[in-house]
Structure 1
Amino acid sequence: MGELGIPDTTAVSSMVAPVRLNTLPPLNSIATDGYGYQLGVARDGTVWEWGSRPGYVRETQVPRALRGLSGISQVTTLQKYSFGLGSDGSVKAWMKDQKSGDSSQPISVKGLRNIVQLQSASDYICALDSAGSVWRFTVNTSDNQLHFSVPVRIQGLPALKQISTQHAYDAYGVDRSGKVWKWSSIQASSGTEKLYVKPVSIQPSLQVQNVYASIGYMLLVSRQGEVWMYDGKPGRSAVKVKGLQRIVSASAGDTHRLAVDAKGQVYGWGANNWNEVGVPRNAGDGMEYAPVPIQRPITIRINGSLLPASFPAVNKNNSIIVPVKSIAKQLGGSLEATTTQEGTAYRLQYGQTTVTFRPGSAEAAIQGRSMALSGPVSMINGAVMVPSSLFKQLGCQVDWNPSLAELSIQGK
């Protein structure tokens, strides 16, 4: 769970629903290295990091701002290095100490101007400039310092508006007419500082807005908002993903995929052994063969402030199930577990009121008096979850706003 950047979840292996990182400011873009480390660009141009700490098993870095970075519009990151695109079209780079997890002071990458997009894979970086040209350079470290090759322009490509890379040999781009191109095995021309490639057109009949590459396949988002999958094999055509429309962005993982529509609804499909699709794993093979909408993130406010919970609320049959320990703590209460011959029981202390309940039961006892709950107590991702209506029965004001997906609890 270190990759989520959430504290107090080291004994948990997956999450069944989105969890809000309350300490992150509003972000314009995010990037991941594919191994649990994330970067985000805030609206003020600062860069934030969170997720897995290098060299530490199951430890996490909670969100924090990186020093020395401002005026950034986009980021991309590898396991050891990260790059930021300045609002002026410049490129900055920094590296991460693999022992401490701290980032070095950013330095400028020379030889690049008017850059509008960055992509990284392995130890090389592609940069797209405002004229539609693609530049390529490599990065390495020695003596604890970053070293770059001289950025060179890739010759033979049409003017592109978007690029996507997955590994050091294959890259993809969309030209201004909506045609997708693939190029690979880049070779330097002898005696020059130019790279020559022979791009291949992919699915020329399809007008594409963006392409998202992964290992062995790619996602194509058309100008009409449809999603197509293409495995790149000769003689094969792209296959339309059914059930998706008005898609504006997508992400292609190794074994699962995500897409976002114009209303902000996220859909996932593919391998879901660790809930990576965004829904609970099914009891069968763990696969989601068709896109499914993931639960909309639920915001919880306690006495007007965001709940700093490590576990998400879940909407089950229009009943909002919440992490009772986190909420009790914010209300000034406490939750304790006791073990009896009948199994584990929990005692919630809120002011002068004591509530006891057991996992799996839809009943609780307030001051020894039995009462029915709107749903059973459950254990989700290691957290004790109860219907939010329990706090209403304790005298709190509980309000649910379905349009905002926001739950508000006001203490008595």
Structure 2
Amino acid sequence: MKKWSVFLSFIVVLTLISSLPVSAAAVDKTSNIQSFDPTSLVKNDGTYWVWGGNQSVPTQFQGMTDVMITFGNDYVMKKDGSIWYMGRNQSLSSTQINEVKSLNHISTFYYSYGDELFALGADGKIYTAVHTDGKLDPTQFVQIKGIDKVTNISSYYDFSKREGELRSIFLKDDGTVWHDQNALQSFVRIASLNDITSIATNIALKKDGTVWRLPWTRQFNEDTQVDTIPTVISGLRNIKIIKSNGNSHMAIDDQARLWFWGVTITGYSDGTTYHDGKAPVLLSNIKDVKDTFVVERSLIVQTQSGDVYETSIEGTSLPVNAKFTLLTSNVNLIKQGNRSIIMQKNDGTLWGWGVNKNGQLGYGDYEFMHSNAVPMQKPISVQLNGESVALNTGVIIRNSQAFIPLRSVFEKLGATITFEEMSKVVTIKRSDVGTPPLTISINIKSGVVTVNNKAVNLQNAPFGVNGTSYLPLRFISETLGAKVDWVQQTDKISITMK
């Protein structure tokens, strides 16, 4: 097998699927989460929350209200159908909020590695982001003329020319498939692809349950001769769902069985080799399949009962009897990120699995990888005297106790805060007229806490995450004279200070 210098970027298209609210019948009615994607969510109150990067847990994006759906990549739709974009900075407080005035009532966004960003309207019209000075402008879109009634968008490499050309493909509501020409200026129907119900990069699913490879696409081995017409993939019948990352392909048939073909992997770094299994393999050790994903070097499978399993795609091929390991149960919905997945359970809670080096699992740490499913921290808001408090990183719960970033609330309670970087000692002072002086000292490294030089034992020690010190909210707030209440119905901490 040949070694390729490019794997995922060879043909993969990242699809941002709209996060439509999950039905109440599927998720516990007490859940406060209305919509979610791999790095953001919307609560039932219309607030918008993000994680990943500088935010290791869900953190409220202040100033964004009445949100109905989050699409990912910083796009949301409000209840009035308006579309908004937030190009996140390291500090949420400095991030600009932009209304995308050329878009309204969008159902889905699609991004291709060919540097095209599409928005699909609820009416089947397509819009593309404008390029200004050769750079994509995520806040400016124009309608694409010449094609409409589109239900799905994808991309694939057309090898009718030796070097290959990335094309956008469009599935229309009449079951026909079209590809673009001349930089989206014209569109050509792909002949003999009729009654298509789904497209996924270089494969298409027909109404009769057969799966077809698009013309001018080659299998992973670059020496493979390409076909000039669509070709049926032998061995697949009665297929209901197809999935693909462009290199590895999956299909679920009418008996809820899982088929796999395409790329598996051996080696690492410069020694990585990609092996192309051309014939679909029916995996015998997994049943009642509902959904499936390729994430990093793993095949993730969700069953109809809500169990989620993982098996490795490392090896020269994926064996028929591949061993699956249970990751978690009671999962209602899965959203795939770039290198991880976020799962919503029937009780409404979110769980993550996979690469986490940028905090993309919302778990409250930056461990590179979590090979077991971990619970995402709840999206917890903080109010002071009825006013929402803006946090640059969110609330972390440890052992049922809430911790908040060092400078998020306590200065608003009238305290003066100093932090000694070398010793990692936080000093919180209050010296209001008419009240006794108060000094709280917290050693982040040792966990030693004193109040007016008297030692205090805390249930849970303060800690640091990615350079941010987290302190116990209730202990410090109440020591400073505030009243703290937990509002369970809305996941809100209410602080009252006279």
Q: TM-score, normalised by structure 1?
A: 0.72
Structure 2 residue 100 is matched with structure 1 residue 66: yes
Please give the secondary structure, in 1, of the residue aligned with 2:326: coil
Structure 2 residue 398 is matched with structure 1 residue 325: no
Q: Using the TM superposition, give the Cα deviation of residue 410 of structure 1 relative to its aligned residue in structure 2, in angstroms.
A: 1.8
Please give the secondary structure, in 2, of the residue aligned with 1:67: strand
Amino acid at match of 1:39: Y
Amino acid at match of 1:267: W
Q: Is the 8 A contact 2:415 2:429 kept in 1?
A: yes
Q: Using the TM superposition, give the Cα deviation of residue 387 of structure 1 relative to its aligned residue in structure 2, in angstroms.
A: 0.9
Gap change, CA 1:309 and 1:104, over 3 Å in 2: closer
1:75 is aligned to 109
1:212-291 equivalences in 2 (<5 Å): 212=293, 219-227=300-308, 231=313, 233=317, 236=320, 242-280=326-364, 286-291=368-373
Please give the secondary structure, in 2, of the residue aligned with 1:325: coil
Q: Using the TM superposition, give the Cα deviation of residue 309 of structure 1 relative to its aligned residue in structure 2, in angstroms.
A: 0.5
Amino acid at match of 2:362: G
**Comparing both chains, which one has the higher relative contact order based on Cα–Cα distances under 8 Å and sequence gaps of 6 or more?**
2
Distance 1:237 1:134 in 2: 35
Q: Name which of 390, 395, 407 aligns with 2:493.
A: 407
Task: Give the unaligned 5+ runs of structure 2.
Answer: 1-37, 41-51, 158-165, 218-227, 237-250, 257-287
Distance 1:339 1:354 in 2: 22
Gap change, CA 1:293 and 1:372, over 3 Å in 2: closer
Q: Is the 8 A contact 1:172 1:211 kept in 2?
A: no
Distance 1:138 1:331 in 2: 61
Q: Using the TM superposition, give the Cα deviation of residue 321 of structure 1 relative to its aligned residue in structure 2, in angstroms.
A: 0.8
Q: Using the TM superposition, give the Cα deviation of residue 91 of structure 1 relative to its aligned residue in structure 2, in angstroms.
A: 1.1
Distance 1:385 1:264 in 2: 26
Gap change, CA 1:104 and 1:294, over 3 Å in 2: closer
- 1:273-320, CA deviations, whole angstroms, 9 ceiling, x for partnerless residues? 33333335587xx43223222222222222223221011111110111
Bigger Cα displacement from structure 2, 88-97 vs 111-120: 111-120
1:46 is aligned to 82
Gap change, CA 1:212 and 1:125, over 3 Å in 2: farther
1:370-385 equivalences in 2 (<5 Å): 371-385=456-470
Q: Name which of 443, 449, 452 aligns with 1:363.
A: 449
Gap change, CA 1:52 and 1:297, over 3 Å in 2: closer
1:299 is aligned to 381
- 1:214-261, CA deviations, whole angstroms, 9 ceiling, x for partnerless residues? 677664545444445685956546765624444343233454332223
Q: TM-score, normalised by structure 2?
A: 0.61
Structure 2 residue 67 is matched with structure 1 residue 31: no
1:152 is aligned to 189
Structure 2 residue 421 is matched with structure 1 residue 387: no
- 1:85-141, CA deviations, whole angstroms, 9 ceiling, x for partnerless residues? 22222111123547887446422122333333444678543444444544443685x
Distance 1:74 1:104 in 2: 15
1:191-202 equivalences in 2 (<5 Å): 196-199=230-233, 201=236, 202=251
Distance 2:441 2:358 in 1: 29
Distance 1:184 1:156 in 2: 10
Q: Name which of 114, 125, 139 aligns with 2:168.
A: 125
Q: Using the TM superposition, give the Cα deviation of residue 72 of structure 1 relative to its aligned residue in structure 2, in angstroms.
A: 1.9
Q: Is the 8 A contact 2:130 2:136 kept in 1?
A: no
Q: Is the 8 A contact 1:156 1:197 kept in 2?
A: no
Report the aligned-residue RMSD. Answer: 4.2
Gap change, CA 1:183 and 1:22, over 3 Å in 2: farther
Gap change, CA 1:120 and 1:300, over 3 Å in 2: farther
Please give the secondary structure, in 1, of the residue aligned with 2:101: coil
Q: Is the 8 A contact 2:85 2:139 kept in 1?
A: no
1:170-189 equivalences in 2 (<5 Å): 170-171=202-203, 183-184=212-213, 186-187=215-216
Distance 1:60 1:185 in 2: 45
Distance 1:256 1:197 in 2: 32
Gap change, CA 1:372 and 1:104, over 3 Å in 2: closer
2:58 is aligned to 18
Q: Is the 8 A contact 1:164 1:213 kept in 2?
A: no
Q: Is the 8 A contact 2:146 2:187 kept in 1?
A: yes
For these two proteins, the number of residue pairs brought into alignment is: 373
Distance 2:95 2:112 in 1: 16
Please give the secondary structure, in 2, of the residue aligned with 1:358: strand
Q: Is the 8 A contact 1:4 1:51 kept in 2?
A: no
Bigger Cα displacement from structure 2, 114-123 vs 383-392: 114-123
Distance 1:42 1:114 in 2: 23
Amino acid at match of 1:278: G
Distance 1:135 1:246 in 2: 39
Task: Give the unaligned 5+ runs of structure 1.
Answer: 6-11, 33-37, 141-146, 189-193
